[in-house]
């Protein structure tokens, strides 16, 4: 049993198709999507169409809520707000229906998933420090919690003696007596300095969790963003992974 986990697609069709090809090559049995399917990128309807066709357990992110008017646009910075307003105009009815069907959190066996933080999903708070991460373990009861939102991947392990530590390896063994808070990074707009799409695989039988980076046609995605009249910065940053 192999689970593919991914987040923050942000309407980047080229990154999403590369990632889905990777998942099918790895014979993934179940997909978990951790939110922000739209916003920033030029292909919101196309990305939603792709995800809808898959057996994918998905949740909403702040951008998905923003385009539906379910989160106040004052929350967002100028570039993000412009992209959300643009996206809201592009979405067809079936795309809106799909986004509206996404819950704020979800479960899959011993896995909990929420876009921003387990503590208060609808506040869209970022988990940026070990201290902030430590608190989060009180707000889910499953062994593993996957988050997205910051577009910067991390793996945090909480031992049976309540020690909370950051793990820098890309590949880890999930230990039965530990719990995990894992940010799976971003498919469509990574911000950790690596411009490639970030995805994760969890081999449930062998208890191996691993993060991967997948190349895609960034130039084509950038051209589409500029042609759509979206802020140029949203195209530039893709090549920088920032």
Give residues in contact with Zn ion (CB under 5 A): 8, 36
Nearer to Zn ion, 91 or 172 (CB): 91
- Whole-angstrom distance, CA of residue 44 vs CA of residue 41: 7
Distance CA 195, CA 108 (A): 29
**How buried is 25 (Cβ within 10 angstroms: 0-12 exposed, 13-18 middle, 19+ buried)?**
exposed
Minimum distance from residue 1 beta carbon to Zn ion (Å): 28
Under 8 Å between Cβ of 14 and 217: yes
Beta carbon nearer to Zn ion, 72 or 138? 72
Q: Closer CB to Zn ion, residue 8 or residue 105? A: 8
CA distance 207 to 196: 25
- As measured in angstroms, the least distance from the Cβ of 138 to Zn ion is 24
Q: Are the CB atoms for 19 and 189 separated by under 8 Å?
A: no
Nearer to Zn ion, 14 or 36 (CB): 36
Least distance (Å) from Zn ion to the CB of residue 198? 12
Tell the smallest beta-carbon distance from residue 151 to Zn ion (Å). Answer: 6
84 or 172: whose CB is closer to Zn ion? 84
Q: Give min distance, CB of 10 to Zn ion, in A.
A: 6
Between CA 135 and CA 59 the distance in angstroms is 22
Q: What is the 3-state secondary structure (H, E, C) of 183-230?
A: ECCCCCCCCCCCCCEEEEEEECCCCEEEEEEECCCHHHHHHHHHHCCC
């Amino acid at each position: 049993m192999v689970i593919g986990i991914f987040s923050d697609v942000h309407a980047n069709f080229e990154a999403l198709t590369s990632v889905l090809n990777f998942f099918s090559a790895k014979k993934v049995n179940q997909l978990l999507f951790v939110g922000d399917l739209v916003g920033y990128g030029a292909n919101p309807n196309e990305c939603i169409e792709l995800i809808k066709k898959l057996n994918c357990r998905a949740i909403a992110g702040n951008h998905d809520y923003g385009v539906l008017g379910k989160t106040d646009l004052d929350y967002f910075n100028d570039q993000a707000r412009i992209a959300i307003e643009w996206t809201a105009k592009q979405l067809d009815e079936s795309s809106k229906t799909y986004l509206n069907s996404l819950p704020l959190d979800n479960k899959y066996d011993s896995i909990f998933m929420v876009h921003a933080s387990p503590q208060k999903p609808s506040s869209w708070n970022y988990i940026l420090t070990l201290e902030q991460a430590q608190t989060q373990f009180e707000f889910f009861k499953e062994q593993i919690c996957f988050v997205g939102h910051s577009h910067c991947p991390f793996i945090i392990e909480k031992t049976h003696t309540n020690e909370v530590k950051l793990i820098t390896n890309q590949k880890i063994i999930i230990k039965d007596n530990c719990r995990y808070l894992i940010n799976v990074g971003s498919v469509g707009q990574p911000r950790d300095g690596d411009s490639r799409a970030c995805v994760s695989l969890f081999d449930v039988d062998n208890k191996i969790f691993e993060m991967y980076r997948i190349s895609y046609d960034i130039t084509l995605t950038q051209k589409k963003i500029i042609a759509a009249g979206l802020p140029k910065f949203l195209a530039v940053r893709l090549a920088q992974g920032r």
